Amino acid sequence: MGETMVENMSPYTGRPQVSVVMTCYNYGRYVAECIESVLAQTYENFELIIVNDGSSDNSEEVISRFLIDPRVRYFSQANTGQAMAKNVGIRNALGGHIAFLDADDLWDRTKLEKQMLLFRDPHVGVVYSRARYIDEQGGPLNPRWGERDHLSPKAGKVTEDLFFDNFVTFSSAVVRAECLRKVGFFKGSLKMGIDWDLWLRISVYWEFSFVDEPLISYRLGHSTQMSKNLKERQRCSDWIMAEFVKRNRSLLSTSTIQRAWAYTFCNRADNCRRTDLRLSTRYYLSALRTHPFTPAAYTGLAKNIILGLNGLYRTYVQPAVD
């Protein structure tokens, strides 16, 4: 599916080093602050491409206030989904590097300045950073999943580590345009995990680097956030892993593939323990069938057994209170 309507209201006439691709779908309450965080960058050689993907709120009205800035280019279209909207921005980018930013996130002022220094290494294709997490109102969050080892940042040849989990926060990433010309853009067939799929494809040919400090504020928990759709997220994750193995089997050992799938099953078991104890247990057993030497699966099963026994105790043994 392609663009339905494109409107370029404020073309950038120079040749920027970085093209910032920002997509917006019904983020009118956040997009102004997001745009301001880009325009305030200490690194000045950039253009900002905003793609309004069929928003039905006041996004266009908010964005229009910034179009007097010659660095801002604007495209409006009927809704096509996040992958296709981002691809519109990439296709129209003039810069030799593409930086991605979702319209509900924020950048620190020195983000691009610190990241662009790392592209002096010609082997580096992607530079990202750590993130701080904020809630719908901008208050600080400390999500538990951020503590997982496989989510800690990695540098160099990262394919094996990246196959376990996506440790690259999307709105922190800057990519050589050459990488996208080589491996292609975002896959329109995926509703979620489009960035993980792209990072994996790029990792086959280029190294990754990161700035070891939080240069973005990543917003979690608001009602329009797509990552809440758990079943679709799992379906896309399964496809991404299976497809990558099919196309790049020689890059991953059998042990890595097995351990990565076991890790995935354990994460799913952890996530559904409070809502569906039986499903959680099935996921842990799947992890052990995939890779029997997975300590997290044994620990998780023990927790589930204890929870199950406690539930039986409360139901059948504990005396009623008058």
Placement of tokens 């660095």 in the chain: 71
Helix (H, G, I), strand (E, B) or coil at 23: strand
pLDDT at 150: 87
Placement of tokens 């069938």 in the chain: 289
Query: Which residues fall within 8 angstroms of residue 171, CB to CB, at 6 or more apart?
Result: 100, 101, 102, 105, 107, 131, 216, 218
**What is the C-alpha end-to-end distance of the chain, expressed in Å?**
64
Query: Which residues fall within 8 angstroms of residue 161, CB to CB, at 6 or more apart?
Result: 150, 154, 167
Domain chopping of the chain, boundaries: 18-230, 253-317
pTM higher than the cut 0.85: yes
State the DSSP string of 260-317. HHHHHHHHHHHHHTTT-HHHHHHHHHHHHHH-S--HHHHHHHHHHHHHHHHHHIIIII
pLDDT at 15: 87
Topology given in CATH for the domain delimited by 18-230? Spore Coat Polysaccharide Biosynthesis Protein SpsA; Chain A (3.90.550)
Mean pLDDT split into 10-residue runs, the chain, 322 residues: 44 79 97 98 98 97 97 97 97 98 97 98 98 90 70 96 97 98 96 97 98 96 60 95 97 97 96 93 97 96 91 54 48
Q: How far is CA 97 from CA 125, 139, 179, 200, 309, in A?
A: 9, 31, 9, 18, 56
- On whether the CB atoms of residues 24 and 55 are closer than 8 A, the answer is yes
Going by their DSSP bridges, the two strands 207-219 and 174-176 should be labelled as unpaired
